[in-house]
Amino acid sequence: MKNDVIKNSLEHFKSVLEDQLKRVERLKENPDWTDYSAIKPIIIGVIGGDGIGPYIADEAKRALEFLLKEDISNGKVEMRTIEGLTIEKRAEVKKAIPDDVLAEIKKCHLCLKGPTTTPKKGDKWPNIESANVAMRKELDLFANIRPVRVLSEGIDWTFFRENTEDLYALGNRGLDATEDLAFDFKVITTPGSERIIRAAFDFAKANGKKKVTAVTKANVVKTTDGKFLNVFYEIAKEYPGIEADDWYIDIMTAKLIDTKRRTQFEVFVLPNLYGDILTDEAAEFQGGVGTAGSANVGKQYAMFEAIHGSAPRMVDEGRAKYADPSSMLRASAMMLKHMGHTEKGERLDMALDICGNYEKKYTLTGRSDGATGREYVDYVMETIQRDDLKQRWEELSKTGQPA
Ligand code: IPM
Ligand code: MG
């Protein structure tokens, strides 16, 4: 019995190890970043997802079509709707992403994705891998970039969360060695750490930021987090003008609520799970996860999404049209900037700040006493067109009270 457990466990680990050895070799190929100015048409896929996803994705698509009107009419951009990334279909084929849907996604250069249901043990769905996690791995979207801004409180953070490794890499390939003994695997690689850390420093350099902060638990998780931290300080040497420091995840969660201390942080870089947790906390300061967008960026593909869940209850209760599309609009702003439309992306961000935090001509409550997502997007599009947009935003963001 004991020998069988050891034999089976070793076999399991062998197969995991073989896959990861292959992966680390692929990572070393390190291709160049996609140059969107050289592509025509840039194909943008809009994936509805589950629950309120299709509603808020449709609204964000409308805003993107409005902002990209010219590019669409001259053939520089093509927008597509990708159907089928629903929990019903995923459950039916027992796959995180059905093959035909994945093939469609891979035909797009950029994707905007609504939230998808992540099954867990004991619910009514088969316990398949999260569609988010699978897509990040399939498209090698290694950088999860999450900005959080509350300018009136001096908060202007950008998180670079590693998106393909750590406890997520093999989250669905853990080992139940016996009935009483379970393992999961935490994977950190040198090239995987290098590329996310470099992305964080490059961003800092390009945006006039003075400091990059690494977050780990390297004092306890010595091998993997230790590697991440070593790589961090090695790469930091390539950026002499930028200060590099590091914190442990426990004290960092505390420092984010320390109003004096937190304004000193600018750019964070951290392994996957710590990044997952810390970015939810950080988003809370700007009004909650519903207000935050997220960019999942790789060298070849990029996917932009809401960071919240699919809120199936809102659909069951007939309230989906009152769902807040802000997170998907934030994600769209990130997409615009990523594809080179920096000014359009910034205007969308400014309009979202004005509409959501300051002027609030329409408020979303998620119920019939608030605006619908459609009314809200109309309001945002109107605001984008205002001649005094930038000036108004500057005034408000210095003095206005955020929500
Ligand atoms: C996120 C989400 C996902 C994650 C879930 C839905 C798998 O929480 O994007 O932060 O854990 O990465
Ligand atoms: Mg999360």
d(CA 159, CA 299): 18
Closest CA to 156 of 349, 363, 359, 375: 349
> Do residues 296 and 133 make contact, with C-beta atoms less than 8 angstroms apart?
no
How far apart CA 197 and CA 124 sit, in angstroms, is 39
More confident residue, 6 or 356: 6
**Ligand of minimum distance to the alpha carbon of 130:** 1
Q: At what angle do helices 190-206 and 224-236 cross, to 10 degrees?
A: 40
Tokens 């053939």 locate to 75
Q: Ligand 1: residues within 6 Å at CB?
A: 118, 130, 132-133, 276, 307
Q: Which one, of 367, 165, 355, 380, lies nearest residue 271 by Cα?
A: 165
Helix or strand holding residue 82 (H, E): strand 77-82
User: Relative to the CA of 115, which ligand 1 atom is closest?
Assistant: 6
How many angstroms separate the Cα of 201 from the Cα of each of 30, 226, 297? Answer: 17, 19, 15
Give DSSP secondary structure letters for 28-64.
Answer: HH-PPPP-GGG-SSEEEEEE--STTHHHHHHHHHHHH
Give the ligand whose atoms come closest to the C-alpha of residue 144. Answer: 1
Label each residue of 324-368 as H, E or C. Answer: CCHHHHHHHHHHHHHCCCHHHHHHHHHHHHHHHHHCCCCCCCCCC
Q: Choose which residue among 132, 144, 279, 304 to substitute to test ligand 1 binding: the one with the highest number of ligand atoms within 8 A of its C-beta.
A: 132
pLDDT band of 400, cuts 50, 70, 90? low
Any idea which of 5-14, 118-127, 197-206 has the lowest mean pLDDT? 118-127
pLDDT value at 403 more than 50: no
**How do beta strands 243-248 and 211-216 pair?**
parallel
Residue nearest to atom 8 of ligand 1 (CA): 276
Report the chain's mean pLDDT, rounded to a whole number. 94
pTM: 0.92
Mean pLDDT for 100-108 is 97
Measure the CA–CA gap between 166 and 162, rounded to whole angstroms.
8
Question: Residue 153 burial by CB count (10 A; 0-12/13-18/19+): exposed, middle or buried?
Answer: middle
Ligand 2 ion: residues within 5 Å (CB): 276
Of all protein residues, the one whose alpha carbon is nearest to atom 10 of ligand 1 is 276
Q: Per-residue pLDDT averaged across 178-205, rounded? A: 98
Q: How far is the CA of 386 from the centre of ligand 1 (A)?
A: 35
Domains along the sequence of the chain with CATH: 31-140+310-403 (no CATH), 142-297 (3.40.718.10)
* pLDDT value at 397 more than 90: no
Q: Which residues contact 126 (CB under 8 A, 6 or more apart)?
A: 91, 94, 119
Convert the pLDDT of each residue in 264-292 to its tens digit: 999 999 999 999 999 999 999 988 877 78
Instruction: Please report the pLDDT score of residue 360 as a whole number.
Output: 87
**The predicted structure's pLDDT at residue 264:** 96
Q: What are the tens digits of pLDDT across the range 57-93?
A: 999 999 999 999 999 999 999 999 999 999 999 999 9
Expressed in angstroms and rounded, the spacing between residue 277 Cα and the centre of ligand 2 is 6
Confidence of residue 120 (pLDDT cuts 50, 70, 90): confident
Residue in 294, 402, 384 with CA at minimum distance from that of residue 348? 384
- How many angstroms separate the alpha carbon of residue 120 from the centre of ligand 2? 15
Give the atom of ligand 1 at the shortest distance from the alpha carbon of 116: 6
- Contacts for 92-98: CB closer than 8 Å, 24+ residues apart: 94/126, 94/128, 95/128, 96/128, 96/129, 96/130, 96/131, 96/133, 96/134, 96/135, 97/131, 97/134, 97/135, 97/138
**Residue 149: pLDDT band with limits 50, 70, 90:** confident
Instruction: Give the atom of ligand 1 at the shortest distance from the alpha carbon of 130.
Output: 7
Number of Cβ within a 10 Å radius of residue 321: 17
Q: Are the beta carbons of 51 and 117 closer than 8 angstroms?
A: yes
For the chain, give the number of residues: 403
Greatest Cα pair distance in the chain: 76
Q: Which ligand is nearest to the CA of 113?
A: 1
